[in-house]
Amino acid sequence: MSTRVPYTRPSITELEVGYTTDAARNGWGAQCYDYIIRFESLFRDYIGASHGIATSSCTGAMQMGLAALGIGPGDEVILADTNWIATAAPIMHLGATPVFVDILPDSWCIDPAAAARAITPNTRAIIATHLYGNLCDMDALLEIGSRHEIAVIEDAAEAIGAQYRGRPAGSMGRFSTFSFHGTKTLTTGEGGMFLTSDGDLFERVLTLSNHGRDRSQPKQFWADVVGYKFKMSNVQAAIGCGQMERISELTDRKRAILNAYKARLAHVSGIAMNPEPDHCLSGAWMPTVVFDAATGVSRDTIQAAFATADIDARVFFYPLSAQPMFTPVPDNVNAWSICERAINLPSYHDMTDGEIDRVCAVIEALAAQSSNGPDAAPRD
């Protein structure tokens, strides 16, 4: 009987357990923020940002950043149609309008040309989501933002460890957000981070993050604006501190798994995987296989094959504009097409070579069965 292969699980060692135990035993009173302060410092230094605020989620970090930019009713924010709802939800909660544009066919990230065409007098920001650890074309997006005087924001939830022309993902936009959900390369269970090198923006978000209490306000329990409660707990941050001490190990292992998949599947025709151009270092969060449309391999066929093999795999994000709360934008042809023939592969840190081979055997069999894959039979 085979053992099910999960698509994800975190890498937690005695280091994280020790820090968490200390936080639970001693992180109260005057010490209640010690691990939070330490985690914020470790993470902002790793990315190379001047300021960081640990949050309860990446979504909360995004909402506070957008609110601090003054984005609200009547404003538009451009983002890729291929996204998780968490990127669009803060826009909606602030009363602004998300504008969905197509993705590039190779990186699956926002198409800069489509973003430029979508700009109107009401556009306030472009969100660059580094999908699955792939990198957006930041040169093009930053040039568009500068030319139109609109903010470019990095949604780096899935891109810890990624680099663009030597710069870490999350270090290039007006602000960036990260996720530490249990599925991510670095985890605190739940949690996120807001990063920026804009001192004024940081102060506005810091005030919003503390129920609207300005840190220079001498009155106790006095709110200057209506803010949020999106804080990370000290215990969660303790896990994060341990993870940050292992960050090279965690990111290197993710890249090793992606490279192992690429090497094992290099002989298979009719598929594409996460790209890594010369100027990019992939975050390799979620190895993904996209079948060529000509193969006829569909999402349902892929899911059924993995279920039969007792392997847990994740569907490629559906277009946000295909979901019931939004107006469909089928002209975003790549976003609407790629998700119909793609799958995210298992990539947890302690995955074995044998498990990687089991996953690859499913892809090989699917390719061999397709009309375009006669040379892609499974290996012995």
Do strands 314-315 and 342-344 pair parallel, antiparallel, or not at all (unpaired)? antiparallel
Using CA atoms, how far apart are residues 70 and 73, in angstroms rounded to an integer?
10
Using CA atoms, how far apart are residues 58 and 66, in angstroms rounded to an integer?
12
According to DSSP, residue 154 is labeled E
Full-model pTM? 0.95
- Give the tens place of pLDDT for each residue, 7-35: 999 999 999 999 999 999 999 999 999 99
Q: How many helices (DSSP H) and strands (DSSP E) are in the chain?
A: 12, 14
- Give the tens place of pLDDT for each residue, 333-365: 999 999 999 999 999 999 999 999 999 999 999
* pLDDT for position 2: 62
Q: Which domains does the chain have, with CATH numbers?
A: 14-245 (3.40.640.10), 247-369 (3.90.1150.10)
| Of 87, 1, 19, 4, residue with least CA distance to 351 | 4
Using CA atoms, how far apart are residues 207 and 227, in angstroms rounded to an integer?
7
Give the distance from CA 245 to its chain's centroid.
Answer: 21
CA angle 263, 266, 269 (to 5 degrees): 160
Is residue 372 pLDDT above 90, yes or no? no
* pLDDT for position 371: 55
CA distances (Å), origin 196, targets 14, 52, 152, 199: 32, 7, 12, 8
Name every residue whose Cβ is closer than 8 Å to that of residue 69 and which is 6 or more positions away in sequence: 124, 125, 151, 174, 201
Is residue 376 pLDDT above 50, yes or no? no
Mean pLDDT of 140-150: 98
Using CB atoms within 10 A of its CB, is residue 57 exposed (0-12), middle (13-18) or buried (19+)?
Answer: buried
